[in-house]
C-alpha cells in the first residue's frame, strides 16, 4: 500500500472516531462540570498512556521537541476539550459543526506555517469551497444568534488546528501514537490538579449515558483517535489529509440524530456529496 494512501485511510479512521466527540461531550456536560470533564478525560487517557509507554518503551523525545509536545498538549489535550465542553453548555451539537467545518482550513494553514508544506493554489480553492459548504449547511440547521458558545468554538478550532499540525510534524520522527502518549503524560500532573480543583460531581446523580460519554471521550477521542489521525497526517500530508475533517460534521450530525434525537434533513446527503467532491479535489491538488 502506498504511503499516501495509507495516510488517507488512517486519517479517515481518525475522523470517524473524532466524529463522536461533540455528541458525547454534549451528553457528558449534562452531568459533569466542563473543567472536571476536561481533566477527567485527560487523566484517564494519560494513565493509559503511561502504561503504554512503559510496556512498549519507545524512543524518548529529544529535549528540543519538548516545547512542541507541550504545544500539542495545550491544543488537543487541554484547549479543544475544555473549549468545546464550555461551548456545548450554550449551543447545540448541530450549531457546533459550523466551526468544526472550519477546522480543515485551520489545520492546513498551520501545516503551511509549521510543517513547511506548500499546496497548490487550486488546493486552497477546494478547501475554501468545502468549508463554505459545511458552514452554509450547518448555519441553516440552527438559527440561534451569536453566543458565548460560538466564541468558545472559535477558540477550540484555532487551538486544535495548531495542535494537529504540530503533532503531525512530530509524528514524522516519533510516530503518531508516541506523540499523543507523550503529550498526555506531560499534561498529566496539571490535569490531576485540575481534577482536584474542579471537585468531584455527585456520583449518584451521574447518569449511565454520561458515564458512557466520558469513557468514549477518554479512550477514543483523547487517545485511540489520535493514533490514527497523527499517523495519517504524517504519511499523507497535513494540508491534504486534514481536508478529511470536512466529513466530520456530517458524521457527527448522524450520531447526534441517533444519540440526541436531532432531525437529519435530506439536504444533508446532498451537501455530503459536495463535501466528498471537495475532499477528492483537495487531495489531487495537495502536492
Could you identify the residue written with the cell 440552527?
142
* Alpha-helix residue ranges (DSSP H) falling in 31-120: 34-56, 66-72, 80-87, 93-100, 103-115
- Mean model confidence pLDDT for the chain: 85
Give 205's DSSP letter. Answer: G
How is residue 233 written as a grid cell? 497526517
Residue 173's CB is within 10 A of a number of other CB atoms, namely 13
Could you identify the residue written with the cell 450547518?
138
Highest mean pLDDT among 102-111, 144-153, 199-208: 199-208
Could you identify the residue written with the cell 466542563?
34
Q: DSSP labels for 104-134?
A: HHHHHHHHHHHH-----HHHHHHHHHHHHHH
Output the CA angle 164-32-34, nearest 5 degrees: 40
- Residue 79 in contact with residue 130, Cβ under 8 Å? no
* pLDDT in the model for residue 106: 82
- Residue 29 in contact with residue 84, Cβ under 8 Å? no
Instruction: Look at residues 281, 279, 254 and name the one whose alpha carbon lies nearest to residue 12.
Output: 279
**pTM summary value:** 0.83
pLDDT > 90? residue 125: no
* pLDDT in the model for residue 103: 84
pLDDT > 80? residue 26: yes
Instruction: Look at residues 230, 243, 74, 84 and name the one whose alpha carbon lies nearest to residue 156.
Output: 84
pLDDT in tens, 136-173: 776 665 545 457 787 898 899 999 999 998 988 898 88
pLDDT > 80? residue 202: yes
- Residue 157 in contact with residue 99, Cβ under 8 Å? yes
* pLDDT in the model for residue 120: 77
Say whether 64 sits in a helix, a strand or coil.
helix
Amino acid at each position: 500500500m502506498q504511503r499516501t494512501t495509507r495516510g488517507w485511510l488512517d486519517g479517515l479512521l481518525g475522523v470517524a472516531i473524532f466524529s463522536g466527540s461533540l455528541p458525547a461531550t454534549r451528553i457528558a456536560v449534562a452531568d459533569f462540570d466542563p473543567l472536571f470533564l476536561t481533566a477527567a478525560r485527560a487523566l484517564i487517557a494519560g494513565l493509559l498512556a503511561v502504561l503504554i509507554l512503559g510496556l512498549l518503551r519507545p524512543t524518548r523525545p529529544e529535549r528540543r521537541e519538548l516545547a512542541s509536545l507541550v504545544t500539542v498538549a495545550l491544543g488537543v489535550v487541554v484547549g479543544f476539550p475544555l473549549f468545546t465542553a464550555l461551548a456545548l453548555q450554550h449551543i447545540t451539537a448541530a450549531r457546533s459543526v459550523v466551526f468544526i467545518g472550519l477546522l480543515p482550513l485551520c489545520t492546513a494553514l498551520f501545516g503551511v506555517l509549521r510543517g513547511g508544506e506548500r499546496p497548490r493554489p487550486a488546493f486552497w480553492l477546494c478547501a475554501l469551497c468545502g468549508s463554505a459548504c459545511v458552514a452554509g449547511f450547518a448555519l441553516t440547521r440552527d438559527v440561534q444568534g451569536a453566543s458565548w458558545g460560538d466564541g468558545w468554538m472559535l477558540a477550540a478550532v484555532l487551538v486544535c488546528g495548531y495542535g494537529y499540525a504540530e503533532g503531525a510534524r512530530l509524528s514524522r520522527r516519533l510516530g503518531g501514537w508516541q506523540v499523543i502518549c507523550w503529550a498526555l503524560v506531560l499534561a498529566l500532573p496539571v490535569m490531576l490538579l485540575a481534577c482536584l480543583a474542579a471537585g468531584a460531581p455527585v456520583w449518584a446523580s451521574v447518569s449511565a449515558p454520561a458515564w458512557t460519554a466520558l469513557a468514549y471521550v477518554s479512550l477514543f477521542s483523547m487517545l485511540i483517535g489520535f493514533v490514527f489521525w497523527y499517523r495519517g497526517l504524517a504519511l499523507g500530508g497535513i494540508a491534504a489529509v486534514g481536508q478529511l475533517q470536512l466529513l466530520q460534521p456530517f458524521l457527527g450530525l448522524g450520531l447526534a440524530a441517533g444519540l440526541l434525537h436531532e432531525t437529519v434533513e435530506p439536504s444533508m446527503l446532498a451537501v455530503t456529496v459536495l463535501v466528498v467532491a471537495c475532499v477528492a479535489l483537495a487531495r489531487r491538488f495537495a502536492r
